[in-house]
Structure 1
């Protein structure tokens, strides 16, 4: 590196006469006297920006400024701070893009599991807030709550299916204490969870020997389960109405009568015994469960309606129930108002079906099968009672009670039907004062 320093001319002239002695005169004296030196860091090529950012300036052989050398190597910018800022921005952008990609992948995985059969992490259903609000308001009523994982564990991943109903499948399970239970998995609903709330609200208010007991429930996203006491003999339909069963497996008349009167007591309890009156709207053989002693228990309150005790008429949106058991007024208002008498009609049809099914399973009576059974049995009451009971006076009285009570219950006009309290009285009383109703039947 060559540095040219300007000095005073008179001093340099004197030094030229004494070139031989550098220390005592000449150029040595010039240097000893000192000189002014000025350095300017301001350049036109931007090197000062590079050095200010802790970088080193890079030049070509012709002293042309090429760029700034930073820690990571040569940068195109004359400022290392700008280079670092660009690198930092690129790194942050890469991290954000990676996190968004990971989040999207997680959502895809969760959606896949939600759509699968078991749904490991079910998405929250749109009606869950309403159902949760209902459960909080009725916290003193509903039983213990389980998670969906608990339900899978107690049913061993739904290994044993007991049956299929209108609102879902029923599986066998075991609680941690060893008790057997029936787990009803409700289907994903289209509405606002009404049938789930109906079931929990209705059955949680009941305590009767002829009404099934709700032990626990599950509400997790779209997964809903109702956990009941286990009924070893299944439903009345499954046992008494199977056309493939031979006469040896059919229920006897006295057992059928016990089931009929037990069911009547259960329905009467729903209408009068609860603090809040309950109209079931789906009394049928499929919803009558039988325990180990064939004691009947009413189940499936998905269509039930809670009513004030003093209320007589009931307002419902559309017909509800099962074809063949639905009262005429539920179809059309021209028959009368909807009330607890609608359950009476369903009960009467069920009892008459019990009688007809017993007759077909044991004797194969084709005559009664070819005609509307209530109409046929009305016309052949005495002959049928004698033949069905095999001339057993006690059995004849039981069969007659069931038939006459059933015919009273299915009267077309609701006001012509008895209350369930009166039905129990007729079944428990004597047949001597039990008269046939008017022959006004809906075929």
Structure 2
């Protein structure tokens, strides 16, 4: 046992140390497009379309007509580049065509938002529009009255939306009490628009103000600027997060690496020695109940009777038709779950513990301890259990009739037209509410995933399976424990450092959010090697503003701008939840607040 433990930890030290500041693929410091001598060379965060995508964040295509960068599947031709390297004069052909036809689609194209968290986007000069939904006639009147008081001009020739704006050279700040029906849009305008023009033309035709040619810049976020200062690149990693990836020139010295490996080796050797001594000292004193006797003899008389009902084995055997295999609802980490019906008519789910397994017994007892102290509308209810005299240890829960979220997204109940975006948003909010309650109760779930989110016939959420959950006292920052959970959902930082925090649940919830958007599985071996994990796949797509590749077509975002905006906002929230550094992730309270705002 000690030898295996020693080998496992030493192998991990040797494996992860060289990767801690892993180097990016060989990337040029700068690059230039042919026949563009008037433009200074490009450098990070831009990368040549011919190079590896890990070389930068914004792709530049060197075409026969000159360089163009890609953003949201649109191509923007570059005419001039400033010394700052992140500022350009550009033109968008699609936007130009929309302006010529006075198409309302031109007013929907918010270029500056949303943008990835690694960099922001700003344009100059620009005009601020307020795109307001037409809901009820009262809402329309209320919105119109609000903007009229502020002397805004309106444009009302678009279906579903009204637009309000001021002259672009007036300093337009976003009102703090703006209606939730209105969205802020920033669009480029002509440099030579005069005050006289705005008083005449702008009131009748807003399109005369807008320009397909404008200045744009891409300032890096603070964290990415720090990466750059240290000679590294801010990029997503195979660990499922975002961190500084060092270039080959910034690799650590081999001598330092060797010293760290030796230090790690000595530390693990000492740790194993301590564990060996502890096991020798306490052998036979702890866990005296680990014997060949039935697990029911393990428990004290009142262990399972505090606040819950005690069922006889015969009663539950009859309820499940002698644990008929046709009644199996699922197979958990420590035993099967059966459907049953009590004599009083209540439908139940019965968890049956596999025998002679201490680890599974721990999970069983953990779930009892947690569920007897918790009460929340979005947590599954524990009805009771068998007593210590029972032939087997059984837990009895309320039966949730509509399967799991996983079943509805990509399982046996999958019918994506039924699981509408509104239902998915409700699932996200209710699950987040349950996790907020758990964290407030000093409980870390540790196995948040779509197959542990049950749905009733009204698609209301019941979070289940607390076998892996841990108590997290308020006076500690983390709990040191060996990583447990489900592949695809496990916090990569927890997986490396063995430090469990409430932010580990936040990471897992981020994967759930991506699944609600995409209907994809958390792990898919058919995807490329660095995107087998859905978290990695999503991080890459969101960073490159390719969220469309994540969205389940059944959600109808192509034809509904409001749904698309909501999905984009949820994707950005998931991006924050999936950060490698747990300190960069929001709390579940913050996550819930954002979901409610969306």
TM-score after normalising by structure 2: 0.45
TM-aligned CA deviation for residue 129 of structure 1 = 4.9
The residue that corresponds to 1:57 in the other structure is none
> Which blocks of at least 5 consecutive residues in structure 1 are unaligned?
1-122, 431-443
The residue that corresponds to 1:22 in the other structure is none
Distance 1:132 1:327, change over 3 A: same
> Which blocks of at least 5 consecutive residues in structure 2 are unaligned?
1-290
TM-aligned CA deviation for residue 256 of structure 1 = 0.9
**Alignment partner of 1:232 is 2:401:** yes
Q: Is the 8 A contact 1:182 1:229 kept in 2?
A: yes
Q: Is the 8 A contact 1:381 1:400 kept in 2?
A: no
Query: Once the two structures are superposed, what CA deviation does each residue of 1:96-154 show, in whole Å capped at 9, x if it has no partner?
Result: xxxxxxxxxxxxxxxxxxxxxxxxxxx97366555326x44x7534x111121111011
User: Within 5 Å, which residues of 2 pair with 1:21-420?
Assistant: 125=293, 128-132=296-300, 135-136=302-303, 139-141=305-307, 143-159=308-324, 160-191=327-358, 193-219=361-387, 220=389, 223-242=392-411, 245=414, 247-248=416-417, 250-272=418-440, 274=441, 277-316=442-481, 318-333=482-497, 337-357=499-519, 372-381=537-546, 383=548, 388-420=556-588
Q: What RMSD in Å do the two structures reach over aligned CA positions?
A: 3.0
> Which has the larger strand fraction?
2
TM-score after normalising by structure 1: 0.60
The residue that corresponds to 1:94 in the other structure is none
Q: Is the 8 A contact 1:261 1:427 kept in 2?
A: yes
Distance 1:421 1:194, change over 3 A: same
Q: Aligned partners of 2:293 and 2:477: how far apart in 1? A: 35
**3-state SS of the aligned residue for 1:372?**
helix
Q: Aligned partners of 1:125 and 1:397: how far apart in 2? A: 59
Q: Aligned partners of 2:415 and 2:502: how far apart in 1? A: 36
Q: Aligned partners of 1:237 and 1:359: how far apart in 2? A: 8
Larger Cα-atom Rg: 1
Q: After alignment, is 190-199 or 278-287 more displaced?
A: 190-199
Q: Aligned partners of 2:521 and 2:489: how far apart in 1? A: 20
TM-aligned CA deviation for residue 235 of structure 1 = 1.0
Greater relative contact order, per chain length (Cα 8 Å cut-off, separation 6+): 2
TM-aligned CA deviation for residue 399 of structure 1 = 1.1
> Which has the larger helix fraction?
1
Q: Aligned partners of 1:205 and 1:256: how far apart in 2? A: 29
TM-aligned CA deviation for residue 290 of structure 1 = 0.4
User: Within 5 Å, which residues of 2 pair with 1:8-23?
Assistant: none
Number of aligned residues: 293
Distance 1:175 1:380, change over 3 A: same
**3-state SS of the aligned residue for 2:358?**
coil
TM-aligned CA deviation for residue 163 of structure 1 = 2.0
